Structure 1
Amino acid sequence: MSFSQLLRGFILISPLAILLTAGNILSVKGFITKADIAAISKFLFWIISPALLFRNAFHIEGGLAGHLPFVCAIVAAALATAVLAYMIERFIFCERTARKVALTTAASVRPNTIYVGLPIVESVFGSSAVVLLSLYAAVAIPLYNLLSPLTSEIVLARRDSLKIFLKNTCIRIAKNPMVVAPLCGMFLVFAGLKHLPDGLDKALYMVSNAATGMSLLVLGASIDIKNARGAILSCWREIITRLFVHPGILYFCLTVAGVDLSLKNVSVLVTATPTAATLFVLARGIGLDGDHAAELTVITMLLSAVTIPVWIVLLGV
């Protein structure tokens, strides 16, 4: 691996690193307090992120029926990764804390598809490959946005009996705006609605634009950089799953499905991106360990400066 490839990895994640650093500095200087973090996280969970998810789900481009093997490979890889992450935590490492298992399972299928994936694709493959990214995003974004909170809610639901378990799971899912929002968007598309009212669409666009920037600032304010070594030790299983296992499983599924090489390379490289900042919002919103989610997001983002060039070499692009 050449120094130029490693340098390119650092350049690709620099905008996100700047926002994380800014949030951390604001926290250290006392400008952002713990009360501020809690309030902003609540606003992100209930207002900003649902607006983003609803609008993205509604604006999915058509034509996916002609790429059925590709769609099946994306779905199969995500489901296999989530199940594998759950099995490893629950039965190999014997983790008994449901909230820990739920967070690990959610993190396994939560790549930063757009805000890290888009600049990586443009830098590595050129602007013409953005069309391939759009096809991937049309399948992956709604899937990951639904699968991540859904698996968390299922893991957290009580299992006193099958009836109570199903009832509790459905209630938790119905109360989660990060599940309901994309479902509503997709329902309107399937119902035949072609366009949102112009004013509503622009309003949702303006609100959703704040999602990633605010999430990254709050993430930076929540993480203790001095405990980076401890964070790596506590997150190492999630780090390996996010940066290597999920993209590795997807590579296998896409190869078996006979997907075009260019589309396969774009999809795998985007899936190998760090944990999405919305994992922190999800964790805070449903009572998981928000600090652990913040650590995982920051550490995978830092490590991706090395792992992304590694995937570039492995894919031969």
Structure 2
Amino acid sequence: MFGFFLVMPLVIIIALGNILRRRGFYSDGDVAALSKTLYWVILPMLLFRTTYISGTEVLSQPNLLIAVNICYVATLAAAWLGAARFAHQGDMRRVAVSVLSDFRSNNIYLGFPVIQLAMGEAGLHLASVYIAVSMAFYQIYSIGGGEVAVTGRITAANLAGIARKLLTNPMLVSCVAGIGAALLSVPVHFVFDETMKLVSGAATAVALLALGGTLDIPEAHRVIEIMRRTWFDILIKLILNPLIMWGALTAFGISGDLARVTVMLSSMPCAVNCFIIAKGMGMDGDYAADLVAATTLLGIISIPAWAYALGIV
């Protein structure tokens, strides 16, 4: 029962953000400003601070790195083969959405708030370790795999585009900066640490409001139709992907709270930016939007279920 109550505050804030946008209190520009502030200011400070506190712990997790990569590759392969030969046969634009989205979790907007509510600062610390270890490969596999699926080839331009996205990603840059500062023993003055702590404290509320304002939640009569269209990718994202992650972590001796946090983040719905990336890369953007909405709605059930299965609640 606590798992249900764990997710309900998140659902209420997401719904509030969606209602405020629908009623005109938030314009599209306001939602964009919330998302931009979160992406470029709040979350980079949170990630820098937590990875700095983690110090060299991130670099002492080779087994986590291996397990995460195995999970990503296995999920990508399952999504690609299943979509191409069965679920989306003949529609490579939709196959590409499966490849892009089926392990691209909503870690930042939804995962961090869930972990913080369930496990507090200790959970956020472990979540930041996972993000720091996995961020580069998460981007390379999902964007690179999606690009190959939709175009059918790997080119120098594709690789250059992926590299450019990585080098300008504030999440990745802040993680690298935090680890680097810790390794070099660069002192962070109390004033700056408190500033980052205060700004980071806004992450949960801003992330959930921005998520609600960004989501195009379907009308009730369309929900069943969308679920029927996206069922294959729902199963991959919400069930198979976290199961593969759990198995890979177990195989490489990762256990305890780090394993719980990692699997919990893997079980999150599809990242909101999946449909933005899909549209920009010539994939089926409408299908990607439906998939984001469907997995987010089903997260009301899957998030408490995974929290219970992992012993977080």
Normalising by structure 1, report the TM-score: 0.72
Q: Classify 1:298/1:175 alpha carbon distance in 2 versus 1 (closer, same or farther; 3 Å).
A: same
Give unmatched runs, 5+ long, in structure 2.
none
How far 1:274 moved relative to its partner?
2.5
- Larger deviation, residues 31-40 vs 43-52: 43-52
Counterpart contact for 1:41–1:281, Cα < 8 Å: no
How many residue pairs end up in the alignment? 299
Which deviations, in whole Å up to 9, do the C-alpha atoms of 1:44-86 show, x marking residues without a partner? 3333333333333333254567765455334432443345445
Q: Classify 1:67/1:231 alpha carbon distance in 2 versus 1 (closer, same or farther; 3 Å).
A: same
Q: Classify 1:239/1:147 alpha carbon distance in 2 versus 1 (closer, same or farther; 3 Å).
A: farther
- Name 1:220's counterpart in structure 2: 212
Q: Give the Cα separation in 1 of the matches to 2:274 and 2:186.
A: 29
Is 1:97 the counterpart of 2:123? The answer is: no
- Name 1:211's counterpart in structure 2: 203
How far 1:29 moved relative to its partner?
1.9
Counterpart contact for 2:97–2:288, Cα < 8 Å: no
Counterpart contact for 1:53–1:145, Cα < 8 Å: no
Q: Give the Cα separation in 2 of the matches to 1:291 and 1:185.
A: 37
- Name 1:15's counterpart in structure 2: 9
**What secondary structure, in the 3-state scheme, does the structure 2 residue paired with 1:60 have?**
helix
Is 1:80 the counterpart of 2:74? The answer is: yes
Q: Give the Cα separation in 2 of the matches to 1:293 and 1:269.
A: 23
Q: Classify 1:264/1:186 alpha carbon distance in 2 versus 1 (closer, same or farther; 3 Å).
A: closer
Which deviations, in whole Å up to 9, do the C-alpha atoms of 1:227-259 show, x marking residues without a partner? 433443454344323321122112222332345
1:116 to 99, 105, 114: 114
Q: Classify 1:103/1:37 alpha carbon distance in 2 versus 1 (closer, same or farther; 3 Å).
A: farther
Q: Give the Cα separation in 2 of the matches to 1:70 and 1:37.
A: 35
Q: Classify 1:209/1:300 alpha carbon distance in 2 versus 1 (closer, same or farther; 3 Å).
A: farther
* Aligned 1:1-317 pairs, distance under 5 A: 7-63=1-57, 68-69=62-63, 72-89=66-83, 93=88, 94-97=90-93, 100-101=97-98, 103-105=100-102, 107-108=104-105, 110=107, 112-120=110-118, 122=119, 133=123, 136-137=126-127, 139-154=129-144, 155-156=146-147, 162-190=155-183, 192-221=184-213, 222-226=215-219, 227-260=222-255, 262-263=256-257, 266-267=260-261, 270-271=264-265, 273-275=267-269, 279-280=271-272, 284=276, 299-308=294-303, 310-311=305-306
Q: Give the Cα separation in 2 of the matches to 1:230 and 1:88.
A: 21
How far 1:16 moved relative to its partner?
0.5
**What secondary structure, in the 3-state scheme, does the structure 1 residue paired with 2:12 have?**
helix
Q: Give the Cα separation in 2 of the matches to 1:76 and 1:89.
A: 20
Normalising by structure 2, report the TM-score: 0.72
How far 1:316 moved relative to its partner?
8.2
Counterpart contact for 2:67–2:249, Cα < 8 Å: yes
CA-atom RMSD in angstroms: 4.0
Counterpart contact for 2:7–2:114, Cα < 8 Å: yes
How far 1:108 moved relative to its partner?
4.8
Give unmatched runs, 5+ long, in structure 1.
1-6
How far 1:113 moved relative to its partner?
4.2
